[in-house]
Amino acid sequence: MALSRIVLRQLEAFVQVADMRSFSAAAHRLGLTVQAVSQLVAELEATVGFRLLERTTRRVELSSAGRDYLPSAQSILRHVQAADVAADDIRNRASGLVRVGAPLVLAASVLPRIIHRYATLRPKVVVRIRDVAVDSLVSTVSSGDIDIAVGPDRAIGAEAQAKPLFDSPWVLWCTPNHPLAAQQDVRWGDLKNVSLVAAGHDHENSVERMLINAPEHERVVPVDIVDNMTTALGIAAQGVAATLAPSYVGVLAAAFGLIQLRVVDPETVRKVCLYRPTGRSLSPAAEGFAEFVESELPGDLKILSGSNVKPAAKSGRSRHISS
């Protein structure tokens, strides 16, 4: 017997008649004529090869075979109904799994807050954070290892796209008693003889690109390179060295007791972007969460860090870097 010969409407008619013990009552519940319900049940009986109902002039009863078959028919309809509800949830962005990647600072601070808030709106959507190095943001999105990513601007190819969320200037993070702390602004030349620690090659390379056209006496070379931003901030907190980083890391820097000093002439701005794939569409759940991140992330960072976070500028005099 081919399973495709059984129609869901036939099962539904049989289950309703069995429940109501009446063709007319079942027809009323289904919004069909009595003749249509009778025809559906007859077709199902012909397909399964045995009588499901015993019909008399006064009432309808399940046959012995019908009693055995009824639980299976009910189970099929329950699964179909569950699948229909799941489809509605997915279509309406109410359920699903979203994998979001971000560098340590964002992954450890602001993203958990956003995810917690989103869970109150979409409790069936599961969002998983994956720590991703800045250099790997684009490749992990392109390869499908994650759905979306949030982080500093990077060079993108044809398999990913970036939407700027906000601008964050590069600043000097140091202790309040650092020799430069009394200055309102710091110029790149002031950093020539200052001990600096860079967090990862991304930061080191970004500083190098900032000053690629600077005269030799203004070149800045870090004395040490560490893997994580938290390590650089910890070193800076001990006064061993200062560190250069976008102002949005203030969400962690404040916990280390560090202050930020603007670095000008030029002031260099880092864009933080939302990355998504171009070769495949996002699931409705991922699309919904991406839109939520776009609307919530800049405001959360401003609240948490008090840093100079502002909507991404389309143009301006500050130098924007991208690698």
Determine the pLDDT at residue 178: 93
Asked if the model's pLDDT at residue 88 lies above 80, the reply is: no
Asked if the model's pLDDT at residue 204 lies above 70, the reply is: no
What residue spans of the chain are helical by DSSP H?
8-20, 23-30, 34-48, 64-91, 104-108, 110-121, 137-143, 200-210, 229-237, 250-253, 284-305
Residues in the chain: 323
| Whole-number percent of the chain with pLDDT over 90 | 43
Mean pLDDT of 280-304: 87
All structural domains of the chain? 3-91 (1.10.10.10), 95-165+271-318 (3.40.190.10), 167-269 (3.40.190.10)
Q: What are the contacts of 186-191 at 24+ separation with CB within 8 A?
A: 186/261, 186/262, 186/263, 186/264, 187/263, 187/264, 187/265, 188/214, 188/218, 188/220, 188/263, 188/265, 189/217, 189/218, 191/220, 191/244, 191/263
Mean pLDDT of 232-238: 94
Whole-angstrom distance, CA of residue 304 vs CA of residue 323:
27
Identify the residue with better confidence: 222 or 43: 43
Determine the pLDDT at residue 316: 40
Mean pLDDT of 240-260: 89
| Whole-number percent of the chain with pLDDT over 70 | 83
Determine the pLDDT at residue 254: 87
